[in-house]
Every structure is written in structure tokens, then in C-alpha cells.
Amino acid sequence: MNEVWDSLTSVQPQPSWQVVVGTAVAALVLIGWRPLWRNTRQIVTIAHEGAHGLIAALVGRKLAGIRLHSDTSGVTVSRGKPTGVGMIAVLLAGYPGPALFGLAAAFVLSRGYAVALLWGLLLALAILLLQIRNLYGLWSVLVFGAVVFGVSWWGSSAVQSAFAHLLTWFLLLAAPRAVLELQYSRRGGGGRSSDADQLRRLTGVPALLWVGLFGLVTLGCLAVGVIWSGVLPD
């Protein structure tokens, strides 16, 4: 336990720019190659629904459970007033959530705390697991958590750092794609119960503007994450 605590509180050496760029390219492959994306997108859904749940708890709503489905969709149920600022905040959190989590991870990595980031992620997954209400969701979170735990416990410092950067890049790069998929679904006649459309019904603001806001936030997080990654020349 002393060794674990030391690794959590110690600053790890920053990886070379080749590792940072290599993990970014690997993340792009996981996102851009459709056969892989069908499975890796579940990580985005976990972050998306986790963001809904976190904001629901922060605004005082009673979290009733989270369900993750095999088609990479998900739903977070909370009890409380169906209108108002709190409900708007919950709906706003979903699509920007993965990007904001990725930006927070990029900040932690820029300070050299790769191991602390991985163990923090494990803690977050353990808390999320308590709210999962279906078997597929349980399986998804457990598998993802097992991978993170395996790297955190048995991986060398270099492997831990590379994996942390890969996850960070994945969240930052995948979030804008999820927003594009949302709008593509809406243009095809689907997605009418999406976060953007629910926000339209609550606020009267067109859903397309909410989709645009989601896109701006995710792209902004990606831009700042790139700066914090250190890959750009000084």
C-alpha cells in the first residue's frame, strides 16, 4: 500500500513527444475505424451517462439509475422537477461530458500524475457501478474497469503513462464525433428524444443550436487539450 500511495502522489516523468503523438494516432484509429468504433464508443457512452449522473447529483436530483445498451446508447434516470435550471443542466452535461473529462485528464497529465489519473478513474467507475441497473451496463463498466486496473496494477510506469495519454486522447477526439453522429441521426429523422431535442422542448431554443453548442465545447476542449499535451512547438 505504501508503494501504491507513493506512485499516486509522485510526479512521473513526462513521456516523449513520440509517445504522446503515437497515442493520439492510436486513439484516432480506435475512433475512425468503424469496426473498432462500434465497441470503443461504449467508453464515450459511459462518460456521457456518468456526466448526466454527476450533474443530477450536484443539482439535487435523486439519481434513480443508469442503463448502458449494446447499441452504445444509454439512459440516466433521475427524479425531481422535470423543468427548470437543474433539468437543463443535466441535459447539457451529456455530450460535452466526455470532452470535459478528457480536458481534466489532460490537465492532470500535464502535471505528471498519470498513475493518480488512472486510480481516480477506477474510483469514478466504482461509484458509477453502484448506479448501473442492467446486466450489459454492468458488464461494460466491469470490463473497462478491469482493463484500467490491470494497467494501473501491473503496468510499468511507461505503460501507465502511455495508457493514460491514450484514454485522454480518446475522450478528447471521440467527443466531437459523438456530436456529429447526433446531428446525422437527427437529419435522418431519428434522435428526436436526444438531449438537444429535450433541451429544445424545455427552453424553446432550436435543437440545432444546442448541437452547435455541444460541438463548440467539445472542439474547444480538444484544442486546449492539444496545447496542454505539449506536442505543439513553443
DSSP of 146-168: HHHHHHHHHS-HHHHHHHHHHHH
pLDDT at 198: 95
Residue 143 CB: number of other CB atoms within 10 A? 11
pLDDT at 117: 95
Task: Give the position of cell 432550436.
Answer: 206
Residue 60 CB: number of other CB atoms within 10 A? 10
pLDDT at 234: 56
166, part of any domain: yes
pLDDT at 139: 97
185, part of any domain: yes
Question: Is the confidence at residue 142, as pLDDT, over 80?
Answer: yes
Gap between the Cα atoms of 72 and 70, Å rounded: 5
pLDDT at 149: 96
Q: Which residues sit opposite 234 in a β-bridge?
A: none
Gap between the Cα atoms of 56 and 51, Å rounded: 8
pLDDT bracket for residue 216 (50, 70, 90): very high
| Mean pLDDT for the stretch of residues 90-100 | 97
| Mean pLDDT for the stretch of residues 152-172 | 95
pLDDT bracket for residue 143 (50, 70, 90): very high
Residue 66's SS3 state is: strand
195, part of any domain: yes
Q: Can you give the length of the chain in residues?
A: 234
| Mean pLDDT for the stretch of residues 44-60 | 97
221, part of any domain: yes
Gap between the Cα atoms of 63 and 76, Å rounded: 8
Tell me the C-alpha to C-alpha distance, in Å, between residue 138 and each of 49, 134, 135, 147.
13, 6, 5, 14
pLDDT at 1: 66
Assess contact for 63 and 131: CB atoms under 8 A: yes
Nearest to 101 by CA among 11, 173, 18, 209: 173
pLDDT at 120: 95
Question: Is the confidence at residue 77, as pLDDT, over 90?
Answer: yes
42, part of any domain: yes
Boundaries of domain holding 210: 14-229
Tally of domains in the chain: 1
pLDDT at 233: 61
* Single-letter residue type at 134: N
pLDDT at 203: 95
8, part of any domain: no
Q: What would the grid cell of residue 82 be?
A: 422535470
Gap between the Cα atoms of 95 and 191, Å rounded: 13
Residue 69 CB: number of other CB atoms within 10 A? 14
| Mean pLDDT for the stretch of residues 22-45 | 96
5, part of any domain: no
